[in-house]
């Protein structure tokens, strides 16, 4: 069974039917389910997802939808399924800065952290629409449903 880390932009697209990636994330989810992939959700990804959903619903004048979106998130990913990694930031801090520097800032702090956590946990597949992750030679990024079978079987 292949393990894949899910990025915030994929979670947001899955939860928010007004997101530009919504249809794509549904296709990716269906393909991941079909492939029986083990999905990993880092706490920093959940943090970013909640922050974006809160900001987006506020800015778009739909704050009444926030509770429903957060409930969906909680049902999709129970707290027991979250991989808690924030305690690793202190240890990884120098490497995080190196990744950010080496990418000339294309990978931000959170993205560098996600990449390093993947490497440390020997997870080589990341589901994300952020092409900057392609710079990390230890990761293979899935950004569309049609890639799932190819990446997970290869």
Token duo for residue 36 = 């029986």
Q: What is the pLDDT of residues 89-115, one digit of tens each?
A: 999 999 999 999 999 999 999 999 999
- Between the two ends of the chain, the Cα-to-Cα distance in Å is 12
Name the superfamily (CATH) of residues 3-149: 5'-nuclease (3.40.50.1010)
- Which pTM was predicted? 0.93
Reply yes or no on whether the pLDDT at 154 is more than 80. Answer: no
Q: pLDDT, tens digit, for every residue of 53-77?
A: 999 999 999 999 999 999 999 999 9
Rounded to 5 degrees, what angle do the CA atoms 73, 109, 7 make?
A: 30
Average pLDDT in the 126-140 region? 96
Q: Would you state the pLDDT for residue 135?
A: 94
Parse the chain into domains and list their residue ranges: 3-149
């Amino acid at each position: 069974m292949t393990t894949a880390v899910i990025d915030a932009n994929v979670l947001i697209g899955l939860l928010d039917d007004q997101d530009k990636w919504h249809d794509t994330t549904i296709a990716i989810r269906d393909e991941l389910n079909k492939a029986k992939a083990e999905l990993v959700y880092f706490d920093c990804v959940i943090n970013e997802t909640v922050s974006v959903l809160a900001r987006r619903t506020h800015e778009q004048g739909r704050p009444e939808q926030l509770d429903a979106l957060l409930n969906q998130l909680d049902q999709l990913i129970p707290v027991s399924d979250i991989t808690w990694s924030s305690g690793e930031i202190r240890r990884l801090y120098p490497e995080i800065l190196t990744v950010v520097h080496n990418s000339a800032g294309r990978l931000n702090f959170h993205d560098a952290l996600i990449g390093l956590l993947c490497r440390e946990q020997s997870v080589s597949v990341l589901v994300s629409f952020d092409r900057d992750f392609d710079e990390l030679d230890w990761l293979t990024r899935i950004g569309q449903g049609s890639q799932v079978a190819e990446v997970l079987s290869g």
